[in-house]
Amino acid sequence: MLGKILIYVGILLVILGVILLFVDKLNFLGRLPGDIRIQRDNFRFYFPITTSILISVLISLIIYLIRRLS
């Protein structure tokens, strides 16, 4: 049981590392339709609601696949 958990954590860390390598090229994240951005002279408000939903769905899918495979 512990061996499987360590393997899954290792795979997750590799995937996270690859994502971090290419995060510069993912400039569309945070600029999706539905992300709220308000800029005024002395005020800046940013709420990435669509990006948050997308990341949540991806994390849920990854967790589902890990549970399904174990």
Instruction: Give the pLDDT mean for 6-16.
Output: 87
Flag the least confident range among 7-16, 24-33, 45-54.
24-33
In this predicted structure, what is the pLDDT of residue 58?
87
Residue 60, pLDDT > 90, answer yes
Residue 29, pLDDT > 80, answer no
How far is Cα 35 from Cα 40, in angstroms, rounded to an integer?
A: 17
Which tens digit of pLDDT belongs to each residue from 15-28?
A: 888 887 887 776 77
**Counted domains in the chain:** 1
Task: Quote the domain boundaries for residue 9.
Answer: 2-69
